[in-house]
Structure 1
Amino acid sequence: MNNEYYTPQEALKLLGMTYSGLQNQVNTGNLHPIIPPGRKQRVYPKKEVDTLKAELEAWSLSRQIARKAPPARFIKATTEDMPQAVALADAVFGGVNTIPLERRIEWLQKNPDLDHLLKQEDQIVGYFSLAPLRSATIDDLLHKRRLAKDLMTEDILTYVPGETVDLYGMAIGVRPGVSLEQKRKWGELLLLGARRMIVNLGQRGVVIRFLKTHSSTPDGINLMRHIGFTEVVSSIPGMHDFVIDMEQSGLPFVMDYKAALKTWRNLNTNGYDLPGG
């Protein structure tokens, strides 16, 4: 019709759907047609139609890939993975506050359990980074007195059986440019892997006091709420802080962690004071 709107016929052709399918997109709120003054026929905003077309194509492509590709695997990252992992983090967060590759490698060399990846064949499609840090360091990060990219190797702690640590959720994300269905699938696999990783720390005798993180993005905020984090008022405008008190929490994966930790304690008679006992 013009540079801003499509006629119904143009929209139908571009989206490759029937009129009832087009109406369904209106009913679900994906399209918001208008009737221009002096006309009887509705027209469709070009930007909305083009966006919907791109989303439908991405969804179709990801389904084809999912049918052909082997299952994604949740694995511990190696230093060889770091270039691709940093590139993915850069894509997810738009290049904002990216942690330099050399520093990520130094961190991982000090604590090999720092980063975990979701891999499909040789491609990283998701990543999860959980760092043991001093309580004061986490407080600095939550209040933005420091950024994650400012952390030095000496700030990263290691996991020692019987010692208490606080964990900071540094990042979690999946490859952009895929359908919402694929994004959710990869996200669920990441969460399952992250939960297993935390239970494994209990099996190794690592005493976790708190899990803490924060987010300003809708995806991140919704994810933390979905996991079961307690939301805490942040002093930073637009930021949401989240915490899990491991001793008090009854979340299923935390209970699994505490059971694993109790088993470790029963097998190690050094008298450590462990939560969940």
Structure 2
Amino acid sequence: MINKLPSERYYTPQQVQDKLGITESALRNLVRTEQLHRIIPPGKKHGVFLREEVETFLSKWLAFVSINNIEGTEFRAATKEDIEDVQLFARHVFGEQTHSIETRFEWYNAYPKMTYILKDKDRLVAYMEILPIKHEVISDFMNGKIRGWQIAAKDFEKVKPGNEVEFIVMAMATTPDEPTGIRREYSADLLRGVMKELTKLGEEGIHITRVYATSATPTGIGILMHSGFIETGVRIGKRIAFCLNIDTTDLPFFQSYKEAYHTWKSKNEQARRARSTTSE
């Protein structure tokens, strides 16, 4: 019987959380999706994790987020002319389950920055839809009370300086026509581009408080968890619902946005105090 585990071979659950920078809920998700495996040695009540497996998982994640941009790719916000291409791409990836072209145009008219695309030599290879939606509507969507196509223009929150806004990642996809390694690189390019766009919103004084998302794939779930998203406890079929509190997260992935917003806020408060002093 094993009475003592050699510490150089294993991590405790808390050590795994500290190593990966994730919450207990996120660790449970990694075990549930079989990305990490909990081992309960004979005679022990509590599980541990192989250090080698944890280190390998971390190395793969770090490799993913540090991937250099593929030469020839272009990231940008979609224009109205791009929406039909996005629709065809989404139908290719998701089939008939994707949103209609009419829904996408309605969303675009409500918030033109809602879709970001990545092209490789003029070929659309990845996209993300991220919508600024009113809290009560997001709540209904995340709890399965409404479907995405039921979200209308009237449900969009106003995105302007000083406003608190919650976003929902409605869709993210890469082309299924490339090998896994290339798709991973496309995902990294897309995410880095979106983070730069969110940082621009911070510079404009847009206070993003939370971002919501759902995923049913191990890759998507892994990306969300390592980005700091926490499972809400709601499951819709195979889909897991996640939420990220931007104000409280200390993960590096979102620091550029937070620094940009706090710089804007500080300058705005200084200007307001200066005006108040002048008026006195």
Tell me whether the two structures share a fold, i.e. TM-score over 0.5. Answer: yes
Inter-partner Cα distance in structure 1 for 2:235 and 2:182: 34
Whether contact under 8 Å (1:199, 1:253) holds in the other structure is: no
Instruction: Mark the CA change 1:147 to 1:190 in structure 2 (over 3 Å): closer, same or farther.
Output: same
CA distance 1:102–1:88, shift in 2 (3 Å): same
What runs of 5+ residues in structure 2 fail to find an aligned partner? Answer: 1-69, 274-280
Letter matched to residue 179 of structure 2:
S
Deviations 1:243-268 (A, max 9, x none): 11111100113222111011112332
Amino acid in structure 1 at the alignment position of 2:75: F
Q: How many residues align?
A: 203
Larger Rg computed on CA atoms:
1
Q: Partners in 2 of 1:271 and 1:241 — Cα distance?
A: 40
Give the 3-state SS of the residue equivalent to 2:131 in structure 1. Answer: strand
2:20 is matched with none
> What is the deviation of 1:229?
1.3
CA distance in 1, matches of 2:223, 2:255: 20
TM-score under structure 2 normalisation? 0.68
Do the aligned partners of residues 93 and 218 (structure 1) sit closer, same or farther apart at CA in structure 2, a change above 3 Å counting? farther
Q: Displaced runs of 4+ in structure 1, greater than 6 A?
A: none
What does residue 164 of structure 1 align with?
164
What are the Cα deviations for residues 121-171 of structure 1, in whole angstroms up to 9, with x where unaligned?
322111011111111111111111111111111112331100001111111
* Paired residue type of 2:194: A
Q: Does 1:216 align with 2:216?
A: yes
Aligned-pair CA distance for 1:271: 6.0
Which residue of 2 is the match for residue 82 of structure 1? Answer: 83
Letter in 1 for 2:93: V
With 192-201 and 235-244 compared, the bigger mean Cα shift is at 235-244
Q: Secondary structure at the match of 1:165?
A: strand
1:186 is aligned to 2:197: no
Q: 1:135 to 1:122 in 2, by over 3 A?
A: same
Deviation at 1:195, TM superposition (A): 1.3
Name the CA distance, whole Å, in 1 between partners of 2:262 and 2:87.
36
Equivalent-residue separation in structure 2 for 1:235 and 1:103 (angstroms): 25
Instruction: List alignment gaps of at least 5 residues for structure 1.
Output: 1-68, 273-277
Query: CA shift at 1:175, angstroms?
Result: 1.0
**What RMSD, in angstroms, separates the aligned Cα atoms of the two structures?**
1.9
Q: Which amino acid aligns with 2:142?
A: L
Equivalent-residue separation in structure 1 for 2:231 and 2:272 (angstroms)? 34
Residue 176 of structure 2 aligns with which residue? 176
Q: Distance between the aligned counterparts of 1:87 and 1:184, measured in 2?
A: 21
Amino acid at match of 2:265: R
Q: CA deviation at 1:99?
A: 1.5
**Matched residues in 2 for 1:90 and 1:187: separation?**
18
